[in-house]
Structure 1
């Protein structure tokens, strides 16, 4: 498992408009992360050549590429969004994020599409979000839409959740928590931050998704190292890794 091998549970949320910048950043921070999260549809310079270059870097430094696509349509449409078009996400993204609002069919469609790829593929179900007032905060959303049941049914494809709390004691599923910051508590657009310890101890996180805390820092590499060390130290203490 990458977490234990690299002693990191840090996912860098590289919400940047330049793929060139992400590529250079991944070369610097690759040793410190277990996962790199991007939004391909905000990139001004996307090309298959560049994204495959990023894929090679991920292999070199042993981290997963997560496309935060937040799929949320009917199965047939999502299958096309995943495999076709400009981005051809299935060709390079190890993981994608998926809303379960449309029902289990969305996961089934993605799993079927992924079977044509010669590499392992998977998804994270968006069970909860870190923005203030998110409808996913409603307990009925998580339980009513059967996030955990869906994950168990498609456990060959679903590897975990984007979450703000521990949804299941089943350790085969990773709980990935966004909104991590050592200093700030929020922003003007409703983002709510917690510290690595609060996320792991209070919210049951396995993976810490950190974005602006690193991207906006003066020394991104040093800051990434700090989050890696603090996050994994707490993770080892509380999970007895």
Structure 2
């Protein structure tokens, strides 16, 4: 974790709310503080009946907008947010249509989505035109957890710079990353750094395995939250890959407890 005196990592989630203008970011910080959890469950299933929280809606074979409505209603009843891990990666006009229209109409039901910065600033502009009026939020993919990925070095630095350029419009509020990338590439102005905060959501989290045969690499909640200063652990197969509903519940609670314990240790240092 960065040792910068301007780091907001040592602050509680609730204490970081004043540094965010994006409605989805504020809602997320309030939710994590209220429910004592920093767990995001990534459920990559292919049938709507198996879906609890959807991260890749375009792999659902029986998707309907009624299914999305049911998910939104469930999110209200059970007090969680919906993050569609869409990874947009096209020009502004195209992503605005992908986000607002077509079969999935993602912006109509998903609180948060994400995008690759590869197309340039237009991708943020295009998504913001749709999502900001709906009080949605955007994460930029600054780093990845898979072995040999190219989201490193200059790529990551320019992603951070892109986020800073669009921070004032209140739509981009964080990164998919392995650490506090905005502190690694800190702005030169001390005043700007003092006021800056981005949320870091981190995939590749596992308690029992270190990797898979397809290049995924796993770190523990302790490594991600306490050592790297990230804010949310994204856990997929470690939870939904269990064979029974009770095992899924037990593993979800296990990850929630470990993530929250690491967060408490971080803010107490």
Normalising by structure 2, we get a TM-score of 0.80
| Structure 2 Cα separation of the partners of residues 187 and 226 of structure 1 | 21
Maintained 8 Å contact 2:84/2:113: yes
Counterpart for residue 191 of structure 2: none
Q: 1:115 to 1:177 in 2, by over 3 A?
A: closer
Q: Is the contact between residue 132 and residue 171 of structure 2 (CA under 8 Å) also seen in structure 1?
A: no
Contact 1:20 1:45 in 2 (8 A): no
Matched residue of 2:173: which SS? strand
| Larger Rg computed on CA atoms | 2
Matches within 5 A, 1:220-231: 220-231=248-259
| 3-state secondary structure, aligned to 1:160 | strand
The offset of 1:202, in angstroms, is 2.9
Q: Is 1:121 aligned to 2:136, yes or no?
A: yes
Cα distance, 1:190 vs structure 2: 0.3
Matched, 1:77 2:94: yes
The alignment of Structure 1 onto Structure 2 pairs a total of residues equal to 224
Residue 37 of structure 2 corresponds to residue 17 of structure 1 = no
The 1-side partners of 2:172 and 2:78 are apart by 23
Q: Does the C-alpha gap of structure 1 residues 149 and 129 become closer, same or farther in structure 2, counting only changes over 3 Å?
A: same
Q: Hey, what's the Cα distance between the residues in 2 that align with 1:116 and 1:103?
A: 22
Larger RCO (CA under 8 A, 6+ residues apart): 2
Cα separation, 1, equivalents of 2:133 and 2:224: 36
For normalisation by structure 1, the TM-score amounts to 0.88
Gaps of 5+ in 1: 27-35
Residues 1:68 and 1:21: Cα distance change in structure 2 (over 3 Å):
same
Could you tell me how far apart the structure 1 residues matched to 2:43 and 2:67 are? 15
Aligned counterparts of 1:71 and 1:131: Cα–Cα separation in 2? 18
Superposed displacement of residue 149, structure 1: 2.5
* Partner residue of 2:263 out of 231, 235, 239: 235
Q: Which moved more, 1:195-204 or 1:3-12?
A: 195-204
1:216 aligns with 2:223: no
2:155 alignment counterpart: 141
Unaligned ranges ≥5, structure 2: 1-29, 184-194
Q: Give the CA RMSD over aligned residues.
A: 1.6
